Amino acid sequence: MTSFTDRGDGPLDTDVTTILPDDKDWAWVLHRACPECGFEAGDVPGPRVPVWLREKAACWPAVCERAAVRARPAPGVWSPLEYACHVRDVCRVFEARVYLMLSEVDPAFENWDQDAAALADAYGEQEPVAVGVEVWAAAEAAAEAFESVGPDDWQRTGRRSDGSRFTIETLGRYFLHDLIHHLHDVRG
Ligand SMILES: [Zn+2]
């Protein structure tokens, strides 16, 4: 187990719900348990990804029905509604990446700027109950994408614009952690 000291996990850096760019890349969770949400993504076999996805996605509609769903808990921290919009869009992006990796050899992923998406789509102004349903539907579609992966295809690869390479299996683990970690963020 690698130490977390390289992330600067001192008392000033314990709130990973703060919107900081360097907390946006979860690639390290493929190798170690997340110290915040506790999830050990690195051990999840690919075929378990859709099972967990459906289970965790089912929690989001209730999050979106909270009275204070639009309230940011602190300046610079997304509201539950904004997190829900983010998770919905993550599901859509990762669903597309799975199909891309299945249809092409080692494709490059289109860059997705999640902060730009949050602004462009005005996450904080969306209708919460509708977003809750959309998260569920987007997660279901992503689960179906992972379910369509054959036993010989989990090690197919794809590349992100920053040069990191994923297999469909590690992409699934990364994605699953994102969903679970954001539930932790909103105490869902
Ligand atoms: Zn986590």
Has residue 178 got a pLDDT over 50? yes
- Kindly list the structural domains of the chain, giving each domain's residue range(s) and its CATH number in brackets, ordered by start: 45-69+77-185 (1.20.120.450)
DSSP letters along 23-77, please? GS--GGGGTS--TTT---GGG--GGGHHHHHHHHHTTHHHHHTSTTTT--SSTTB
C-alpha to C-alpha distance for 4 and 1, rounded to whole angstroms? 9
34-56 residue pLDDT tens: 999 999 999 899 999 999 999 99
pLDDT for 24 equals: 59
Residue 40 CA to ligand 1 center (angstroms) comes to 8
Residue 23 CA to ligand 1 center (angstroms) comes to 10
Supply the mean pLDDT for the chain.
87
pLDDT for 29 equals: 87
Residue 31 CA to ligand 1 center (angstroms) comes to 12
Output the pTM of the full model. Answer: 0.84
Residue 70 CA to ligand 1 center (angstroms) comes to 22
C-alpha to C-alpha distance for 155 and 144, rounded to whole angstroms? 18
53-101 residue pLDDT tens: 999 999 999 999 999 999 999 988 999 999 999 999 999 999 999 999 9
142-174 residue pLDDT tens: 999 999 999 999 999 999 888 889 999 999 999
pLDDT for 64 equals: 96
pLDDT for 114 equals: 87
Q: Bigger pLDDT: 157 or 28?
A: 157
